[in-house]
């Protein structure tokens, strides 16, 4: 598996609010055997990771994947959800301690249940932050002692909560749900900002409000803040010779317009998301399902690139999906780190691989915020020698 497979999901005409476009994704039938529920945390979280590091972020909620067999279409309880009520200062101040990004539930006797708690989006973001987190694998002179001892620790990235993205909260509030809707594609200024897919329409109905609590990248916030309103979806049916003469003809013409819009959407608006080849890492097996997180190839050149997580069935079809669009700076940083690692963190070889100079590689490292990794004295001497030669 290298690409995201959205087969079984159909596109419906978009709804627009200002610069925000929401594209519904519907299923003819819910995915049997899996349901998603929400746990509300509503505060900052500290996640203890297996490599003895800690992930810190605002964690508003977690998802619980349930494959106990009650997800075949029957109604099931919203496991661990808290509804209503105001969040007080006492609710938001404590830091919630969590163990692992994804963890199997256990019953009171210590036996593993068929439920998995995971932290949506944070699972993917931690994978991006962990990219070559260990730092230089070879102790070249150019790297500082801190780089060799601690790698990229601490490493951080900034993101915006959904309610701070202009227009998003209003768009989600007035968004009309379609029958059978199991997901949506979110566009800001007609740039794909995020994708969200769940296995069952009831899951989506309950989890739709959580989108305003999700994290969105700097690029999405800028597009929402500076972008102009986008055109709404419209369909024009011409009544001419051999045209609409009955309600059946009108229905057929309307469906043809929907199919034409869906084909245009799949071929243009979501092309980069669906045609990109990703690096998938399996996080957990869940009976007939698998939970993955993925990273893009970090190719420079302007194409949009997303990180995210997804759950697939045995055929590789997407049952659950949540994505985070990277900014240009984040793409460049990922590209640089991968090139450094491919060249054993040797700056000279990295410069040759990138087709540039030693000084330019140093400049890119510093502009990426990785300046503390460099041994300033050795790098300065090397740059001076290059200038003299």
- For 18-31, write each residue's pLDDT tens digit: 999 999 999 999 99
Q: Which segment of 17-31, 84-98, 118-132 scores lowest on mean pLDDT? A: 84-98
Q: Which segment of 125-129, 197-201, 204-208, 246-250 scores lowest on mean pLDDT? A: 246-250
Q: Which two tokens stand for residue 163?
A: 């309610």
Q: Are residues 61 and 131 in the same domain?
A: yes
Provide the 10 A C-beta neighbour count for residue 207: 21
Q: Are residues 373 and 318 in the same domain?
A: no
For 132, the domain range is 1-84+91-136+152-233+256-327
Closest CA to 309 of 177, 196, 209: 196
Task: Give domain status of residue 72, yes or no.
Answer: yes
pLDDT band at 112 (very low <50, low <70, confident <90, very high): confident
Q: What is the pLDDT of residues 148-177, one digit of tens each?
A: 888 898 899 999 999 999 999 999 999 999
Mean pLDDT of 316-330: 94
> Do 39 and 120 form a contact (C-beta atoms < 8 A)?
no
Number of domains in the chain: 2
Among residues of the chain, what percentage have pLDDT more than 70?
Answer: 90
Task: Give domain status of residue 382, yes or no.
Answer: yes
Distance of CA 238 to the CA centre of its chain: 41
Mean pLDDT of 199-228: 93
Mean pLDDT of 12-17: 89
Task: Give domain status of residue 201, yes or no.
Answer: yes
Closest CA to 153 of 138, 176, 136: 136
> Do 70 and 30 form a contact (C-beta atoms < 8 A)?
no
Instruction: Answer whether residue 84 shows pLDDT above 70.
Output: no
Mean pLDDT of 277-287: 94
Instruction: Answer whether residue 59 shows pLDDT above 70.
Output: yes
Q: Are residues 186 and 54 in the same domain?
A: yes
Q: Are residues 168 and 283 in the same domain?
A: yes
The more confident residue out of 242 and 142 is 142
Q: Are residues 287 and 189 in the same domain?
A: yes
Mean pLDDT of 34-50: 90
- Rounded Cα distance between 289 and 331, Å, is 30
- Rounded Cα distance between 182 and 200, Å, is 6
> Do 31 and 319 form a contact (C-beta atoms < 8 A)?
yes
Q: What is the pLDDT of residues 327-361, one digit of tens each?
A: 999 999 999 999 999 999 999 999 999 999 999 99
Q: Are residues 318 and 350 in the same domain?
A: no
What pLDDT score does 346 carry? 95
């Amino acid at each position: 598996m290298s690409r995201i497979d959205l087969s079984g999901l159909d596109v419906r005409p978009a709804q627009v609010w200002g610069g925000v476009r929401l594209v519904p994704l519907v299923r003819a039938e819910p995915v049997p055997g899996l349901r998603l529920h929400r746990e509300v945390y509503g505060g900052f979280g500290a996640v203890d990771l297996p490599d003895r590091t800690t992930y810190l972020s605002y964690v508003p909620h977690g998802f619980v994947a349930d494959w106990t067999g009650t997800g075949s279409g029957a109604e099931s309880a919203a496991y661990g959800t808290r509804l209503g009520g105001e969040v007080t200062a006492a609710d938001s101040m404590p830091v919630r301690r969590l163990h692992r990004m994804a963890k199997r539930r256990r019953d009171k006797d210590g036996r593993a249940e068929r439920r998995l708690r995971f932290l949506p989006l944070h699972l993917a973001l931690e994978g991006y932050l962990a990219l070559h987190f260990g730092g230089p694998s070879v102790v070249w002179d150019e790297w500082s002692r801190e780089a060799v001892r601690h790698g990229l620790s601490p490493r951080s990235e900034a993101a915006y909560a959904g309610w701070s993205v202009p227009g998003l909260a209003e768009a989600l509030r007035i968004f009309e749900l379609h029958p059978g809707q199991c997901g949506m594609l979110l566009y800001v200024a007609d740039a794909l900002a995020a994708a969200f897919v769940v296995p069952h329409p009831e899951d989506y109905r309950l989890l739709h409000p959580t989108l305003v609590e999700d994290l969105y990248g700097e690029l999405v916030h800028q597009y929402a803040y500076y972008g102009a309103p986008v055109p709404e979806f419209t369909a024009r049916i011409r009544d001419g010779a051999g045209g609409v003469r009955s309600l059946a003809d009108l229905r057929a013409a309307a469906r043809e317009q929907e199919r034409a819009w869906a084909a245009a959407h799949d071929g243009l608006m979501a092309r980069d998301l669906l045609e990109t080849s990703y690096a998938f890492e399996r996080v957990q097996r869940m009976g007939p399902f698998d939970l993955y997180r993925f990273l893009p190839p970090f190719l420079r050149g302007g194409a949009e690139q997303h990180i995210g997580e997804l759950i697939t069935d045995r055929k590789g079809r997407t049952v659950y999906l949540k994505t985070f669009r990277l900014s240009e700076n984040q793409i460049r940083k990922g590209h640089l780190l991968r090139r450094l690692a491919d060249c054993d963190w040797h700056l000279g070889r990295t410069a040759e691989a990138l087709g540039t100079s030693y000084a330019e590689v140093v400049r890119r490292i510093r502009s990426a915020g990785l300046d503390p990794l460099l041994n300033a004295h050795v790098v300065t001497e090397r740059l001076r020698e290059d200038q003299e030669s």
